[in-house]
Structure 1
Amino acid sequence: MQPRNMSMSGVVDLAAVKAAGEAKQKAEQSRADAAEGGGPPAPSGLVMDVDEAGFEADVLQRSAEVPVVIDFWAEWCEPCKQLGPLLERLAREYAGRFLLAKIDVDQNQMLFQQFGVQGIPAVFAVVAGQALPLFQGAAPEQQIRETLDQLIQVSEQRFGITGLQGVPGEATEAGEGAEEAAGPQAPEPPENAALAAAHSALDSGDLNGAVQAYKNVLSDEPGNTEAQLGLAQAELLGRVQGLDAQQVRAEAADRPTDVGAQLRAADLELVGGHVEDAFGRIVETVKRTAGDDRESARLRLLELFEVVGADDPRVVTARSALARVLF
């Protein structure tokens, strides 16, 4: 699987809307603490072997100041032996713009399961405590570089996370040669002001404004994937706003045939990070219903697929499950 065209609006966990402001504050505090403590870590700290015991400190907490890329690998995995050294070299070359956390899946089964990893090597990122999939399997270096560049750009623009400052880089002949061969860089396309306004409204919690702004973009550009994803996310957040989680769960348990109750519960599960539970609930709802009820459940599941991202392995698994119950 090739690295996806990553957009934080489409693949980041929904809690990122709230986390954006908190992450900026944490990043500023972390940078201040680092300055008082004598600066950033040595380049050797750019690559870490992480286990379940150290995950919170090494990954979650660090992700408030620098994007953390996670490489799920195993000793017996041949593609891992190709991808791992490449990621380590890029971590040193990028000089603190991201950290690399290497997780041995044989020794850390709980993390393997929590991230929903379907196969290795698998590469995820954590930004401001929010996890998102980057790609699975070995990939060409240039495509990996593009994915990392997107990750760094989005982390800074959406969360104010600029990475570690002052870490010496490691120039590579391949990198220098690529820059020389590429020649003058083409100017970046102008920013879509309407889309930026929609993102801003979503980040600030103005869900009604975000929904309308994304619809405005789509009225002019019906095929704008980023706006489609943003709209799905904003609408989901709007649906769960004000819901009593305990009451929703109780209603879903008491009324298994009530499609509305099941869909509300699935929305809350997805927002809470329980992606597989949300997908499984709706697939079961599709299975036990017919007619308009079935169609409503099916369409809601497709909307949630958009929120999580089509390349996410959990979406791939749920699509197969949906196909089995439909056909």
Structure 2
Amino acid sequence: MEHVTRPDPRKTAALSAALSGAVDLGALKARADAARQQPAAPSAASANGAPAAGQVPWIVDVTEAMFQAVVEQSLQVPVVVHLGAAYSPESQQLGATLEKLAQVSGGSWIFARVDLEQSPRIGQAFGVQSVPTVVAIAAGQPIDAFAGPLGEPEVQQWIARLLDALRDRLPGIRAGEANAGEVPVAEEAPEDPRFVAAEEAFEQGDYAGAQAAYEQILASEPGNELAKEGLAQVKFAARAEAVDPDVIARADAAPDDIDAQLAAADAEIVQQRVEEAFKRLVDTVRRVYGDDRDRVREHLVGLFELFAADDPRVAVARRNLASALY
């Protein structure tokens, strides 16, 4: 059975229309011709975000804040957007396949990973119905897509067809292909003084200072996972000092009180009642809408960051959260 989605004008038009609400495709299109006349080696690091830790610069973890900048890279090379979720084994499998192929691509295409639990509006812009979904963008326009897991040979063939179709239109493809097969070796980075300052403030109980330090890092590097984790720890530590154990009873008596539900979840985490805390907030997400839902979701995702990514309690809660949201 042929699993790879062939270009469909109707699908392409629908994706383009959906994406147009999230990025300025008109402006990108206006610059596309000029970009074709100025070949340049592609680098995802020039987007308003950082490459994934330990990875080559054309492998990028994308957030809503930096999505426009990553899409702009498609003026030079195709951007392959992987829309997945941590709770989905199929997402993890396909993401690993794409990362493996991107590692040796020389930057002839950019692999952009989107965690839909962290950035749900990107998924909404693309009209994602299931995970994983992969969308190819060129010159600011979605041009092809497929949903569901594929084997490595099929993914490789899909990318090869993509590059063949675009090689004469996007100037960075040939430049990247000249380096294909060469995986850059990351040099060990010296200790970052920004993190040293944040950690020292945290250890001294200066939560406001530590939070400000981590937020300053994220202001310039929105994709910095270490800073995100540090910020989550600091925020929770500050809240935990003021936790009132009685808030759990108050929250149980007032299920529509959002502030009480958030505080009660914090109290349950402090008491090592992790599953109860996660369930409380997932149930709250199911009951509320709009800004309240976003607020509860963000609080819950922040609690996830207090634990190891492979913690089974987090995995279960992520699946339940996805079910509540979609």
The answer to whether TM tops 0.5 is no
Q: Which has the higher contact order (CA 8 A, sep 6+)?
A: 1
Query: Which structure is higher in helix share?
Result: 1
Instruction: Please give the TM-score of this superposition, normalised by the length of structure 2.
Output: 0.41
